[in-house]
Structure 1
Amino acid sequence: MLLPGVELSVKEGSNGIHCLIVFKNEDWISGDTEKINQFLDEVFKGIDNREKENTRCNMDLEHTVKCLDSYNNDYFIMMAHIEQKSGFLKECNGGLITSLSSKKWFKDNILGLQKGRARKEMKKLKGWMGYEIPYIEGSDCKSVEDIGKGNPCYIKIGDGNFDSVVLAFKDNQNRISLSQKKYNHGYIKSIQFIGGKLDAQEILLSPELNSLIGIRGSGKSSIIESIRYALDIAPSTADKEYKNDVVKNLLESGGQIILNLQDDYGKEYKVKRVYGETPHILDHNDKEINISINTILQTPLYFGQKDLSYMDSGYELNLLNKLVGENLSGFEESLRKVNNRLNNDVSKLLDLEEEIEKIPELENSLSDIRHKIKIFEDKGLAEKLIKQVNFQKDKNKIQRINKLITDFYKEIQLLMQSNIVADLEKSKNFSSIEVPNIATKVDREVNKTLQMKDKIEKIAAEITTSSNLMTEYLKDIQETINSLEEEFAEVKREIDIPNLDPDDFSKYKMSEEKIAEKIRNARSKSEKKIEIRSKIKGILEERNNVLLDEFNKYKKSIEEINSNQSALQLSIEFKGNKAVFLNDLIQNFKGTGINQTSYKAISENFSDFTALVEDVLVDNSKRISDLISDTQLLKLKERVRTAYSKLINIRTNNKIEINYHGKPIAKHSIGQRASALVLFILSQKKNNLIIIDQPEDDLDNQVIYNEIITNVKSRKANVQFIFATHNANIPVLGDSEQIIAVSYDEKQIITEIGSIDKKKIQTKIVDIMEGGQEAFSKRTQIYNLWQKG
């Protein structure tokens, strides 16, 4: 962009001062005619050689401004090379600078100071003026080819026109810099749509503030929700079904959304999602990669319509999880694994107890069997029949041993076929550039270990031989038994006692051995029960440590959040959500006869369901028995025994409280609550992207102007904001880098994209958000009258 201007020496200070006048092209130049030379003729009236560098015009700075104003055309002035000869600072003393800079005409028209570099002098200048205007650089070129050479100066404009430059100077803290702006946060570069109501459209986004504007029902929320859908962020409970329907209506069957992203390090990615399918993440080569979106965009925050005012049970934890995001990844998986181990060991404990509880019944059975055997002994038959019994016992033992050998062989085979062996094979030939000697030693040990594989294979072959021999021995004993069949039959024929079957003796003896073995095993498991109880307690402690790790992570995040701002303060209590725990107790122990008072006592005496399971199943109901009646206890114990797996997986969440100016946020009005949450969200420093759909629905204009806009402007250089809004304050006062004007014609959504500096976009803002130019002008007139009044 090229704007017309002159460097003019005016009669001010000891030697005159140089100023740069920049003219609005369309005001001062029209076709072949222009008014710039007319102005110069006026200020140099009667002076020859005005083109010479140090030729001063007839007027001082004030009268030069008045002369310019007489043309009723736009312009602005910058003071040239202020520290050098004929510079504003060099030629004017402190008193003159103080006098000039206090004038309204000076403040309105002198917008910049060129080549102010000495910090000490700049400090003096600020003291004399009492305010700051931007320092700029310039190439001071003598030809077109020299443009851009010299010290750089950067100006942020959204359109190549005079007005955007003037706005940049007037908002210089945000728009003018002596260093180039670099974005070090991840952000969405653009959104593409294939199919649906935005088919073949692409929306380019700024790394800073993006505002979706449009009348109600124009499609703003549809675009917001589609971004949310592409990022795989689940909608909140508020209007969940509606929000999912909005995405479905926008993308339609087979429709696709593509987000082009950049991470903190400048690497580019794509997120593609077809409606109804899972999202796919691709690198800059369009190759699919297995990473999470949070790896690219650090914990993006999304708040849809009504999310700021909707406060269901547990909203505090949901909000904190949004802010903490990826920092807590892995905890749920760790907890799931611990819970599974706990379930398995509780199941083993109950099985052991069931076996132990059967001991009296088994002992009774054993007594009955032994009584029947004694009848044979009393008749003198036991010695005659015992030989067949012994043969059968020996055969059974050999069969059991054979099974153990076979099982041992199978375990070895499983080991040999496992991934461990395959992974060790892949680890061979290890080498290193940095530590070659160590690498050689490591590779030697890998090869040694793999040599064991051959030894194990030999052992497996020997076990196979043993197993085959055992099969032969079984055949041998069976042949021996078969050869003695006639002998056994002869013994039985000799026995002729009424109501006494010789074959029963063998059955009784075998049963006696089996029952006795069961009793021995059950008694030995009494000791194992103590061992498994101890193991369960260890797992319970491990589970608690996992939850404590998560709690401490939350606590650390809360401390960081609280230190960033003071209005909203969070606190957390480990397993402190007793209200939810109480409700869960009532739901899970219906029908046990426990009353409300007892439920409350249980919730106060136990931290969670696992503590209750521990007391009932491991500690013989030591604590719970003091809180409920014996009848209730019996029913509760039965419920715990049958539903322990479900109960273990029910968490008592940490209690999180949010206070706004010392008062619980839930006790504030909806507007105050929403305002507090928005300010709180904007204060977060670990989130690359913040998306909010129509925050003004729950906020008043004063809050938006005084607090929200201020925060957005201060944070947008480090955070990408995407707002959907029908409130003009956000895009206009927030100085939105990109505006997406949205309209809907029943078949498709149409977008018009540009910055706040573009005339077309400005017209859209007036038409959409101010009710049109006429309504805007009338309001302006009324406001001006009110100010005069």
Structure 2
Amino acid sequence: GANGIHCLVIFNPVEWLENGTDYINQFITQTFAGKHNYENENGRSNDNLIETIKKLNAFEKDYFIIMAHIEQRSGFYNELDGGRIQELSNNPLFRKAVLGFQKVRTRDVIDKLNLWLDNNLPAFVEGSDAKNIEGVGTGNCVNDITQKTYLKIGAFNFEAIKYTLLDKQFRQDKETTNPVNGYIKSISFKGGKLDGSTLHLNHSMNNLIGIRGSGKSSILEAIRYALDIDLNRNQNVDFEYKTNLVNALLGSGGKITSVLVDDQGNEYNAEKILGDRTNIYKNGELQLGLKPNAIVKKPIYFGQKDLSQIGDSLSTEYLISKLIGDRLLDKKREVEEKNQDVLKLIGELKKIDAKVGRKADIEAKQAELKLKIQVFKEKEIDKKLEKQISFDKDSNFIKRLEKFEQRVIDGLNEYVSEYEDSFQSFKTYSSKENTNDIDAIKQHFEVFENLFREAKSLSSKLGAENSKLQKMHQDFNVKYEALKEEFSKIKREINLPNIQADDYVKYTKELDLTKAQLSELNKLSNKKKEIETQLKQTLVSLQNLWHNEFEIVQE
């Protein structure tokens, strides 16, 4: 360009200042050979951009270039026309060396650069563009706002910076965001093999790199132990090895101190001595009952061998449930509840089927009894024994009624027992913001409880009435006993061959019982239809829950 092009060359200091040799100044001496005062703003080297890159490459050391203030005087965009920029973009040397444009401001400039560079632009960065040491870090302002570039790095070195510019989509931004999840800020060791060591972590991904036996697993297991993630002997490979690894790392009395940050940015110190529980402090004050997984929400742990065993000794379902966490857990709880509903309905159907299955036998017995009774009727024995038969029917009725009342009372008592202890938990609730509303609701609940308590009183009243029935049953039996001699005399007067009067009484009683049984079975048949309909609806609901569970896994 007419005014030359300003660029920033970032050197890898490990290579360019290797063994005390300053290769940077050797390069500067070459490219500015014969130039005087080249360090001022108007100083220009002897080489164009491509030749400069070639000279840098000749040193066979790592570097990258940022084109400075590209829209201003001596800037890449301002000094070169579109054809020249397009020509440079097609040169592999330019593409490999130039990783950033500084102070890109105009939308129109970006559109043109996209056109000339085939939509493959380098990173857009900001910088202080200082003319002296004092100006370093002051930054450039737009509308009184200092322009910044944030880089996500995993280490404070040249390679990390260069990598962020190459992976600009994921590791560079104009703004920084606070972590939305809890994380481990650091973990420190006191005692044991890592005594006095502190491992600083970031809220994003952390990598432990080392050769076999260098201690990666020890640190991983220590973090697991510090977070109170217990091992499951059935679901974790090398259970004994992992347990012993922590013991060997910390030693007797060894302590791990973790700095945990919750999703609101609050810091906590979690201290765990080997074999003891974890104590968590906030601002030096012990937080009783607080656990690490309440700060770092639902941490998930897998060892290397654990993952390799998925589908073998460990179930895939176990892996999925760990990764998805509570979302799947809650859904599984719903599925299990619906499963229990299905099993309960099936159980009721089985009971009904077992009873209804006896219907044919009862009908056959009833037909047989009617045939036998018909013989007695033909001899008019039924008329002679009519009084006793009537007494037997009445006695059977009273027995059935007594049992029914007792079932009602037992059911009511069971209902009261199930809920009466639950009322107290609602009474203790209080509200800070809606005191009047909650007080009114609690008054309603008091009325509701009083009505419920009446069920207990009702049970007592029903019990008293049932006792009256039992007394009446006893009186009836006394009356029946007084007539038994009369009934026996009538039976003795019946003197027919092959006919026993007692049989007629017996058959009549059994016939009456079969009629009652068949009546109950008919009611059960109708109930069975209702339960079958309910079962179909429950199965549809269960199928929908399974599908919802599948959708969660797919997400």
Same fold (TM over 0.5): yes
TM-score bracket for the superposition, by shorter chain length: 0.5 to 0.7
* Distance in structure 2 (CA, Å) of the matches to 1:368 and 1:248: 78
2:137 equivalent among 121, 138, 147: 147
* Distance in structure 2 (CA, Å) of the matches to 1:358 and 1:303: 63
- Kindly provide the CA deviation profile for residues 435-477 of structure 1, in whole angstroms up to 9, marking residues without a partner as x: 967x676555434333324544544443344344445445555
* Distance in structure 2 (CA, Å) of the matches to 1:89 and 1:157: 29
Q: Return the offset for 1:163.
A: 3.5
* Distance in structure 2 (CA, Å) of the matches to 1:407 and 1:539: 25
- 2:465 counterpart residue number: 466
- Kindly provide the CA deviation profile for residues 198-224 of structure 1, in whole angstroms up to 9, marking residues without a partner as x: 999999877766667788999999999
* Distance in structure 2 (CA, Å) of the matches to 1:517 and 1:345: 27
Change beyond 3 A, Cα 1:481–1:177: closer
Unaligned runs of 5+ in 1: 1-12, 272-279, 562-685, 687-789
Q: RMSD of the TM alignment (CA)? A: 6.3
* Distance in structure 1 (CA, Å) of the matches to 2:507 and 2:195: 82
- 1:180 counterpart residue number: 176
**How many residues are aligned here?**
520
- 1:532 counterpart residue number: 527
Secondary structure, aligned partner of 1:113: strand
Q: Is 1:520 the equivalent of 2:515?
A: yes
Change beyond 3 A, Cα 1:41–1:299: closer
- 1:165 counterpart residue number: 161
- 1:416 counterpart residue number: 416
1:136 equivalent among 117, 125, 136: 125
Secondary structure, aligned partner of 1:339: helix
- 1:785 counterpart residue number: none
Change beyond 3 A, Cα 1:39–1:293: closer
- 1:250 counterpart residue number: 242
Q: Note if contact 1:16-1:91 (Cα within 8 Å) is conserved in structure 2.
A: yes
Q: Note if contact 2:494-2:501 (Cα within 8 Å) is conserved in structure 1.
A: no
Q: How does 1:512-591 map to 2 (within 5 A)?
A: 512=507, 514-525=509-520, 527-546=522-541, 548-550=543-545, 553=548
- Kindly provide the CA deviation profile for residues 381-433 of structure 1, in whole angstroms up to 9, marking residues without a partner as x: 748xx57x877776665555455444444443333333267338826988795
* Distance in structure 1 (CA, Å) of the matches to 2:268 and 2:408: 52
Secondary structure, aligned partner of 1:545: helix
Q: Return the offset for 1:137.
A: 0.5
* Distance in structure 1 (CA, Å) of the matches to 2:196 and 2:361: 74
* Distance in structure 1 (CA, Å) of the matches to 2:358 and 2:528: 16
Change beyond 3 A, Cα 1:258–1:498: farther
- 1:56 counterpart residue number: 43
Change beyond 3 A, Cα 1:222–1:538: farther
- Kindly provide the CA deviation profile for residues 80-134 of structure 1, in whole angstroms up to 9, marking residues without a partner as x: 2222233232233334444555556544543322212212113323444555222
- 1:695 counterpart residue number: none
Q: Note if contact 1:47-1:57 (Cα within 8 Å) is conserved in structure 2.
A: no
* Distance in structure 2 (CA, Å) of the matches to 1:58 and 1:488: 136
- Kindly provide the CA deviation profile for residues 229-284 of structure 1, in whole angstroms up to 9, marking residues without a partner as x: 9999999xxxx99x85434443359989999999998899999xxxxxxxx9x999
Secondary structure, aligned partner of 2:358: helix
Secondary structure, aligned partner of 2:100: strand
- Kindly provide the CA deviation profile for residues 28-48 of structure 1, in whole angstroms up to 9, marking residues without a partner as x: 557998565666566275635
Q: Is 1:337 the equivalent of 2:340?
A: yes
Q: In structure 2, what residue type is equivalent to 1:521?
A: A
Q: In structure 1, what residue type is equivalent to 2:122?
A: I
- 1:575 counterpart residue number: none
- Kindly provide the CA deviation profile for residues 584-643 of structure 1, in whole angstroms up to 9, marking residues without a partner as x: xxxxxxxxxxxxxxxxxxxxxxxxxxxxxxxxxxxxxxxxxxxxxxxxxxxxxxxxxxxx
* Distance in structure 2 (CA, Å) of the matches to 1:545 and 1:407: 33
* Distance in structure 2 (CA, Å) of the matches to 1:268 and 1:499: 103
Secondary structure, aligned partner of 1:135: strand
Q: How does 1:645-684 map to 2 (within 5 A)?
A: none
TM-score by length of 1: 0.49
* Distance in structure 2 (CA, Å) of the matches to 1:129 and 1:253: 55
- Kindly provide the CA deviation profile for residues 545-572 of structure 1, in whole angstroms up to 9, marking residues without a partner as x: 13542565478679xx6xxxxxxxxxxx
- 2:6 counterpart residue number: 18
Q: Note if contact 1:190-1:202 (Cα within 8 Å) is conserved in structure 2.
A: yes
* Distance in structure 1 (CA, Å) of the matches to 2:293 and 2:13: 52
Change beyond 3 A, Cα 1:471–1:518: closer
* Distance in structure 2 (CA, Å) of the matches to 1:21 and 1:45: 21
Q: Note if contact 2:154-2:160 (Cα within 8 Å) is conserved in structure 1.
A: yes
Q: Which has the larger radius of gyration?
A: 2
Q: Note if contact 1:261-1:296 (Cα within 8 Å) is conserved in structure 2.
A: no
Q: In structure 2, what residue type is equivalent to 1:136?
A: V
Q: Note if contact 1:425-1:450 (Cα within 8 Å) is conserved in structure 2.
A: no
Change beyond 3 A, Cα 1:216–1:547: farther
Q: In structure 1, what residue type is equivalent to 2:449?
A: L
* Distance in structure 2 (CA, Å) of the matches to 1:535 and 1:368: 36
Q: In structure 2, what residue type is equivalent to 1:523?
A: L
Q: Return the offset for 1:187.
A: 8.3
Q: Return the offset for 1:350.
A: 1.9
Q: Is 1:122 the equivalent of 2:148?
A: no
TM-score by length of 2: 0.66
Identity rate, percent? 25
- 2:369 counterpart residue number: 366
- 1:356 counterpart residue number: 359
Change beyond 3 A, Cα 1:345–1:224: farther
Change beyond 3 A, Cα 1:460–1:85: same
* Distance in structure 2 (CA, Å) of the matches to 1:155 and 1:80: 18
Change beyond 3 A, Cα 1:427–1:32: same
Secondary structure, aligned partner of 1:17: coil
* Distance in structure 1 (CA, Å) of the matches to 2:410 and 2:353: 29
Q: Note if contact 2:150-2:173 (Cα within 8 Å) is conserved in structure 1.
A: yes
Q: Note if contact 2:218-2:245 (Cα within 8 Å) is conserved in structure 1.
A: no
* Distance in structure 1 (CA, Å) of the matches to 2:162 and 2:492: 126
Change beyond 3 A, Cα 1:158–1:515: same
* Distance in structure 2 (CA, Å) of the matches to 1:341 and 1:526: 20
* Distance in structure 1 (CA, Å) of the matches to 2:513 and 2:245: 64
Q: In structure 2, what residue type is equivalent to 1:251?
A: T
Q: Note if contact 1:424-1:446 (Cα within 8 Å) is conserved in structure 2.
A: no
- Kindly provide the CA deviation profile for residues 164-222 of structure 1, in whole angstroms up to 9, marking residues without a partner as x: 3334444444444333366667989899999xx99999998777666677889999999
Q: In structure 2, what residue type is equivalent to 1:178?
A: K
Secondary structure, aligned partner of 1:85: coil
* Distance in structure 2 (CA, Å) of the matches to 1:513 and 1:188: 84
* Distance in structure 2 (CA, Å) of the matches to 1:346 and 1:118: 76
Q: Return the offset for 1:538.
A: 0.8
**Higher relative contact order (CA closer than 8 Å, sequence separation 6+):** 1
* Distance in structure 1 (CA, Å) of the matches to 2:345 and 2:61: 82
Change beyond 3 A, Cα 1:65–1:557: closer
Change beyond 3 A, Cα 1:350–1:492: closer
* Distance in structure 2 (CA, Å) of the matches to 1:379 and 1:117: 115
- 2:142 counterpart residue number: none
Q: In structure 2, what residue type is equivalent to 1:113?
A: F
Q: How does 1:41-80 map to 2 (within 5 A)?
A: 43=32, 45=34, 47-48=36-37, 53-57=40-44, 59-62=46-49, 74-80=62-68
Unaligned runs of 5+ in 2: 140-145, 251-255, 271-277
Change beyond 3 A, Cα 1:342–1:398: closer
- 2:451 counterpart residue number: 452
Q: In structure 2, what residue type is equivalent to 1:336?
A: N
Secondary structure, aligned partner of 1:358: helix
* Distance in structure 2 (CA, Å) of the matches to 1:126 and 1:491: 116
Q: Return the offset for 1:356.
A: 1.2
Q: Is 1:110 the equivalent of 2:105?
A: no
Q: Return the offset for 1:347.
A: 1.6
